[in-house]
Amino acid sequence: MKKQRVLLIRASYLETHMAHNLSPPVGVLTLAAMIRRERPHQVEFRILDTGIERMNVRGTGRILREYDPDVVGISALSLEAANIHGIAALAKSINPSIRVVVGGPHATTFYDQALKDPNVDYAVVGEGETTFIELLDAIRDGAAPVNMPGVALRLDGEVSFGGPRAFQEDLDSLPIPAWDILDLRPYSRQLTMNGLLVRSPYAVLFTSRACPYQCVYCHAIFGKKFRAQSAERVLEEIEMLAGRYGVRECHFYDDVFNFDRGRAMAVMEGVASRGIDMKFSFPNGVRADIMTRDMVKSFARAGTYCIGYAIETASPRLQRLIRKNLNLDIAREVIEWTFDEGIIPCGAYMFGFPTETLEEMEQTRKFACGSKMLSALFFPVTPFPRTELYEMVGEYYPDYKMPYDSTPHMYYFYEKPYYTEVGGIDITRMRYRALKSFYLDPWRMWHMIDRFPKNRSYLRMVYWSLMFWFGKRGRKVEDLKISPSTCS
């Protein structure tokens, strides 16, 4: 029997947004590993990362004609949604019998919108490892996967969803991503999510799913019950990456890696005790106020050189409003411990929460500048649809028409943030003011020169930083207020 041929595509946002951060597609690699384990004789596959290949929608046509797949699976974030539909239309124009399946964060949250496109046949909603295998079986057998948990499709012109599939409780039962089929070297030549890279090649680790905290701006695509691989399973993958594939650095993309403190410590202590020569970075999810001094020391011993802490706001009132409820005093102390242990502390902040005042923004700016953080990002608050924050903005500002309803245009940065309209504060200028006061501090400049790696990754980060805010003039605090007429 002819093998079912599957093309797994990691969409990029080359045509919709500047593609700065291109990481190894760990989700797609896990799907590939599942196919290899569960259907080794029935299914063959190929992976295409359009971002790393610098391939726009049209450029995928050559691969589609060459490979002639039966199924095209497209994984994407919401800011890449335009390319989902472009690739789907191209696939159908080349061969109308190709089944197009969308998955990943965008499909999970907006499957009904994705299926308005007649070129999209199915959406995998939620964790896709088991669902995708069952869907491939149904497609091969010519069966309509109606009522299949985790699958949405059009039925009689309407979107039909088979209901949620139970979350994968035992993450150790999933296969290690198929790292052997990916050339990791090109990813080390890109700007990483971390911004920095001490060694190359590097790989991405995603060792837990879900965050139990209730922040109003965040997703819930993995639910709210924390689930994690065992420390032994994580160490197995790290040793495999180091020994078999020559990986010299790993970046953890967990939403909240340190939620289970014992597991986090066991992973870090295991690396140190086994003598694994690896550098680590945590650009995404380490919650500051549950770190301990012993944990920071353990991270340092294992080879961690950078930890990102998402502070968001230094206003206690706003911490309660957005339900992050971060203990700012502990967070400030943890940042200091991190710095003292020789690790680069990085921070993420946001300006423009509903009802936020200029004084509260200044409070956040001063917290960042007064801390021992050596790197910081200041984001405009962007209320994405189907988050609690989106509903909150609608309640506080009912006359404001959201520009974010069209999913192909959901970016983190808009030319005019919503709060500039409703709050009368120039958020873009506030961000540039914060960036300049943070990075032009002589103490910070000295320690950045001292601690940041002296290599091409550092030059890339400097280049993109200068591109981001070069020539943008800061303003005095009082000049950040704009005319109320712009809010009407």
Q: What is the distance between the alpha carbons of residues 486 and 488, in angstroms, rounded to a whole number?
A: 6
For the chain, list the domains and their CATH numbers.
4-161 (3.40.50.280), 183-379+426-465 (3.80.30.20)
- Give the alpha-carbon dihedral of 90, 91, 97, 98, to 10 degrees: -160
Which pLDDT does position 450 carry in this prediction? Answer: 92
Q: Contact at 8 Å (CB) between 144 and 122?
A: no
Phi and psi at residue 101, to the nearest 5°: -115, 130
Which pLDDT does position 365 carry in this prediction? Answer: 98
pTM flag (> 0.85) = yes
Let me know if 451 is exposed, middle or buried by CB neighbors in 10 A (0-12, 13-18, 19+).
Answer: middle
279-282 β-sheet, strand order:
202-205, 249-252, 279-282, 304-312, 344-351, 375-380
Q: Which two tokens stand for residue 270?
A: 């295991």
Q: What is the distance between the alpha carbons of residues 309 and 294, in angstroms, rounded to a whole number?
A: 17
> Up-side HSE of residue 442: CA atoms within 13 Å toward CB?
0
Angle value at C-alpha 11, between 7 and 12, nearest 5 degrees: 150
281 bridge partner residues: 251, 306
Q: Are strands 208-209 and 227-228 parallel, antiparallel or unpaired?
A: antiparallel
Owner of token pair 């907006």: 110
Residue 450: strand, helix, or coil: helix
Please say whether the dihedral angle defined by the alpha carbons of residues 464, 191, 53 and 35, taken in this order, is positive or negative.
negative
Q: What tens-digit pLDDT sequence spans the chain (488 residues)? A: 789 999 999 987 654 444 456 899 999 999 999 999 999 999 999 999 988 888 777 778 999 999 999 999 999 888 777 788 899 999 999 999 999 999 999 999 999 999 999 999 999 999 999 999 999 999 999 999 999 999 999 999 999 999 999 999 999 999 999 999 999 999 988 878 888 899 999 999 999 999 999 999 998 889 999 999 999 999 999 999 999 999 999 999 999 999 999 999 999 999 999 999 999 999 987 999 999 999 999 999 999 999 999 999 999 999 999 999 999 999 999 999 999 999 999 999 999 999 999 999 999 999 999 999 999 999 999 898 889 999 999 999 999 887 655 554 565 655 678 999 999 999 999 999 999 999 999 999 999 999 998 877 777 776 666 665 554 444 555 556 554 333 32
What stretch of H or E contains 309?
A: strand 304-312
Which pLDDT does position 192 carry in this prediction? Answer: 81
- Largest distance between two CA atoms of the chain: 73
